[in-house]
Amino acid sequence: MIDKIQEDLKNAMINKNKTTVNTLRGILATIKNQGKDLTNIEIINIFKKEVKKRKEAIELYSSNNRNDLKEIEEMELKVLNSYLPEQVSEDELETKIVDLKNSTFKDKECNLGELIKISIQKFNAVSDNGTISKICKKVIGD
């Protein structure tokens, strides 16, 4: 995956796409700061953290009427999202979590913390942890 990022960085530099260049340089720096060979899952988790930062910044800039900065963050978010696996919808995720709850806790009472932990382990690649946690709380409340 690092090779793909480096190749995309090179192409972005040739095409003079400043936003993509800056975003990919930041990701590569973060990966190199980890100081070890990372698996693709660890690299995807880095992308997820960066996506979360961009989303928070977009909210902040929107509430403060800083559309110029918001647009930059949105462009960076598009670049980052292109490297993430396809994310499932909340409805589909809820169905999967209900199935997981029914199969895991059929003989005992469902514990929210345990359900969240199991759900994150199982669905981390297809959704962010905040969404998983929110849906687990909704499922337990039902």
State pLDDT tens for residues 37-91: 888 888 888 898 899 899 999 999 999 999 999 999 999 999 998 988 887 888 8
Domain 2-81 adopts which CATH fold?
Hypothetical Protein Yqey; Chain: A; domain1 (1.10.1510)
**What is the Cα–Cα distance from 32 to 114, expressed in whole angstroms?**
33
Q: Domain extents for the chain? A: 2-81, 90-141
* pLDDT greater at residue 102 or residue 74: 74
**What is the Cα–Cα distance from 36 to 42, expressed in whole angstroms?**
11
- pLDDT of the residue at 35: 74
- Round the average pLDDT of the chain to a whole number and report it: 88
The closest alpha carbon to 43, from 75, 73, 97, 6, belongs to 6
Residues listed for the chain: 142
* DSSP code of residue 128: -
Split at pLDDT 50, 70, 90, the class of 101 is confident
> CA torsion angle for 85, 93, 121, 113 (degrees, to 10)?
150
- pLDDT of the residue at 63: 94
pLDDT > 70 in the chain, percent: 99
- pLDDT of the residue at 142: 56
- pLDDT of the residue at 25: 95
Region 106-113: mean pLDDT is 80
Measured CA angle at 41 (ends 45, 138), to 5 deg: 60
- Only one residue has tokens 């403060």, namely 64
- pLDDT of the residue at 45: 85
Split at pLDDT 50, 70, 90, the class of 121 is confident
With 0-12 / 13-18 / 19 or more C-beta atoms within 10 angstroms meaning exposed / middle / buried, residue 2 is middle
The pTM of the full predicted model, rounded to 2 decimals, is: 0.72
